Chain A
Amino acid sequence: MSTSRVAEFDVVLTRYLDIDGAPLGPLPAFAADAADLVPLYRALIRTRTFDAKAVALQRTGRLGTFASSLGQEAVGVGAASAMAADDVLVPSFRDQAAQLWRGVTPVELLLYWGGDERGSDFAGPRGDFPISVPVASHVPHAAGVALALKLRNEARAVLCIIGDGATSKGDFYEALNIAGAWQLPLVVLVNNNQWAISVRREAQSAAQTLAQKAIAAGVPGEQVDGNDVITVHDTVANAIARARAGEGTSLIEALTYRLSDHTTADDARRYRGDAEVSLHWHGEPVARLRQYLVGQGAWSRDDEEHALADAADEMERATEAYLAMAPQPVSAMFDHLFATLPVSLRSERDEAMGGEAGHA
């Protein structure tokens, strides 16, 4: 018998700021001047304010079911801020942080989550995908977009965001495998918020890390502290740079924690204790970056008050605009079914619209 070691791997975890926002060493170049991090901080606050507003609207019957990103804001903000405008975002249902950074407006998001068809179109990033509700089903789309970019020799990249639970799906494994085999310009970012509704990360997979799932696909996989926006931004930026340079796919597992219920339809107290949640408030991304900025003299109490007021103001105005929107016509459900509505469907549309006139 002979055995020999034929492959060797390791998975690294990167973090620049410690849990209290103290730097653990020199920061990456983009973060050298703390003042340059202020836009990221504002984006974290903006996302958190949007989420709080959306949850409040749902609680008062003015929005549908909504998935807050409370505690995970740095994942979307860090990643989206590392993208170029012409890169393509292929997001999940909890990715409003990335969507907001990319230019989807709060009103558009509220319309969508409020059940209005018009929220499904956004003025901002025209090539970005809509959020994917079926878990992991968009990873193959992201690989397809990446193949398209590669076929056209464009130096662009695709960022696909999924959850920890999503890494259990065949769609994820299939797409990652192809992306690895074909060296596609794709970055898969796993928001590991430790929970998939009521199922803990440990119950989801026996793998020590989710990052190592990439290794089986021949794709580099690494972990980052997902509550440190500096680390998320830097790591995603590097992965995107590799993708653009023709160096293929990467997977990044961002370690974070879902501080909210799964969605407004969920009651997390059925399956996890408050003590666990309280514990994770220490180290959450907003306070962490704030502590760093304050420590660097780049942020004051005054700045904080103004930033919070600005965000509250923006979301208040967005809410007013959302609530004041005239209702969409009933034909909205037919308008974009096909490029042109087939003749056979016109009578259905007319009948549906007749229902609108009073005899539903």
Chain B
Amino acid sequence: MRDATLVEAINAALARAMQEDERVLVLGEDVGKDGGVFRATDGLLARFGPARVFDTPVAEAAIAGMSVGLAAQGFCPVAEIQFMGFAYAAIDQLLNHAARLRTRTRGRLSCPMVLRTPCGAGVHAPEHHSESGEACFTNIPGLRVVVPSSPRRGYGLLLAAIRDSDPVVFLEPTRLYRAVREPVADDGTSLPLDRCITLREGGDVTLVGWGGVVPEMLAAAERLAAEGTQADVIDVATLVPLDAETILASVAGTGRCVICHEAPLTGGFGAEIAARLAGPGLFSLLAPVERVTGWDTIVPLSRLERHYLPGVERILAAARRSLRHG
């Protein structure tokens, strides 16, 4: 057990996966000697050698497409796309091939690949480096979409993603990479890929979200507690497949739900959760479902970033609105 940041935990999970299974390969731009621009693959080349860690040319479509080929041949490629803004070039391969290979071959071939990419704003990065594009992936049937929000969850979820027999898109919030350290046991224990994680139980209002907003939700819950309101806080963590039961069970108790995400409002994955609440959850609701999200704008250049990111104050305001009902 040692204290680790999210990016160190991811590094540890990659090393663990490569250690325990020689089929695991790492490929991507600058993942070798440079150790990845965020250092997520630091030391892997030195430890596992150039036959398992590949610096690719600048070629996102090929990184994703070759991963499909490697996976079909029995390898477990873990591809890194340097920033989510460059992952869109890989979507053709994910949507048309990775997510469908099992179906298209009636199970004869499969695609146990992981595509990792940093996501989200908050680190004053240049243009195209701050998007939260998870909804582009969650609407692709056959693809798992996972977003860790703490070092321990990063470790356990990434191990699970690598060990899974189907393609997983693994989105790592850049602003959490070095935000906190916590003890992470590098013992190979993975987390389930189809379970939301309840971080706090309160019973008065449900705060549900993923990625970069999770610490904001926890901070909001603290503030609410000081006001005498106890919040359930749920990290969705595995967007697809969605563990709606955990969310519905929480809202069955609270009757109130604030959905938080950094991605834009319209068509964001929060809308899927809201739809579940409007369906099977409808008669639990005591107040309208609230969504606290990024605006429906392009992520602004860094100066306005903090006005774009949904933070504690907006979450609190939404929770209070919700609590005023009924």
Assess whether B57 is in contact with A199, with CB atoms less than 8 Å apart. Answer: yes
Assess whether A114 is in contact with B303, with CB atoms less than 8 Å apart. Answer: yes
Assess whether A271 is in contact with B34, with CB atoms less than 8 Å apart. Answer: yes
A332 interfacial contact with B, CB 8 Å: yes
Contact of B126 among A64, A117, A332 (CB under 8 A): A64
Which chain B residues border A199 with CB–CB below 8 Å?
29-30, 55, 57-58
User: Which of A128-136, A140-148, A285-293, A298-306 sits within the interface?
Assistant: A128-136
A-B contact count (CB 8 A): 122
Proximity string of chain B (22-42) to chain A, C-beta cutoff 8 Å, 1 when within and 0 when not: 000000011011110100000
A198 interfacial contact with B, CB 8 Å: yes
Which chain B residues border A169 with CB–CB below 8 Å?
58-60
B104 interfacial contact with A, CB 8 Å: no
User: Which of B139-147, B223-231, B248-256, B294-302 sits within the interface?
Assistant: B294-302
- CA gap between A222 and B83 in the complex, in Å: 33
- CA gap between A271 and B86 in the complex, in Å: 23
Interface residues of A in 72-100 (CB under 8 A from B): 93
Which chain B residues border A205 with CB–CB below 8 Å?
57
Assess whether A197 is in contact with B30, with CB atoms less than 8 Å apart. Answer: yes
- CA gap between A238 and B86 in the complex, in Å: 34
Interface residues of B in 301-321 (CB under 8 A from A): 301-308, 311, 313-314, 317
Interface residues of B in 118-171 (CB under 8 A from A): 124-129
Which chain A residues border B95 with CB–CB below 8 Å?
none
Proximity string of chain A (41-85) to chain B, C-beta cutoff 8 Å, 1 when within and 0 when not: 000000000000000000000001100000000000000000000
Contact of B303 among A116, A337, A355 (CB under 8 A): A116
- CA gap between A197 and B86 in the complex, in Å: 15
A248 interfacial contact with B, CB 8 Å: no
Q: Closest residue of chain B to A130, judged by CB?
A: B127
B265 interfacial contact with A, CB 8 Å: yes
| Given A134-B85, A334-B295, CB of A328 within 8 Å of CB of B304 | yes
A330 interfacial contact with B, CB 8 Å: yes
A-B contact pairs, 17 of them (CB 8 A): A64-B126, A64-B301, A134-B86, A165-B57, A197-B30, A198-B34, A203-B55, A270-B33, A271-B33, A333-B297, A333-B308, A337-B298, A348-B295, A355-B314, A356-B307, A359-B313, A360-B314
Which chain A residues border B305 with CB–CB below 8 Å?
115
Q: Closest residue of chain A to B36, judged by CB?
A: A198
Q: Closest residue of chain A to B301, judged by CB?
A: A115
A317 CB, min distance to chain B CBs, angstroms: 22
Assess whether A352 is in contact with B307, with CB atoms less than 8 Å apart. Answer: yes
- CA gap between A334 and B295 in the complex, in Å: 9
Which chain B residues border A334 with CB–CB below 8 Å?
295, 297
Assess whether B301 is in contact with A360, with CB atoms less than 8 Å apart. Answer: no
Interface residues of A in 301-335 (CB under 8 A from B): 327-328, 330, 332-334
Assess whether B295 is in contact with A133, with CB atoms less than 8 Å apart. Answer: no
Proximity string of chain A (108-140) to chain B, C-beta cutoff 8 Å, 1 when within and 0 when not: 000011111101100000000000011110000
Contact of B128 among A64, A134, A196, A345 (CB under 8 A): A134
A40 CB, min distance to chain B CBs, angstroms: 29
Contact of A330 among B62, B85, B307 (CB under 8 A): B307
Q: Closest residue of chain A to B304, judged by CB?
A: A333
Assess whether A65 is in contact with B125, with CB atoms less than 8 Å apart. Answer: yes
B323 interfacial contact with A, CB 8 Å: no
Q: Closest residue of chain B to A113, judged by CB?
A: B126
- CA gap between A62 and B300 in the complex, in Å: 17
B199 CB, min distance to chain A CBs, angstroms: 24
- CA gap between A168 and B57 in the complex, in Å: 6
| Given A327-B303, A360-B307, CB of A348 within 8 Å of CB of B126 | no
- CA gap between A327 and B300 in the complex, in Å: 14
Assess whether B59 is in contact with A337, with CB atoms less than 8 Å apart. Answer: no
Interface residues of B in 61-107 (CB under 8 A from A): 61-62, 85-86, 89
- CA gap between A134 and B125 in the complex, in Å: 13
Assess whether A197 is in contact with B311, with CB atoms less than 8 Å apart. Answer: no
A265 interfacial contact with B, CB 8 Å: yes
- CA gap between A93 and B85 in the complex, in Å: 15
Q: Closest residue of chain B to A166, judged by CB?
A: B58
A204 interfacial contact with B, CB 8 Å: yes
Assess whether A197 is in contact with B125, with CB atoms less than 8 Å apart. Answer: no
- CA gap between A117 and B125 in the complex, in Å: 14
Which chain A residues border B308 with CB–CB below 8 Å?
333, 352
A28 interfacial contact with B, CB 8 Å: no
Which chain A residues border B60 with CB–CB below 8 Å?
169
Which chain B residues border A203 with CB–CB below 8 Å?
55, 57
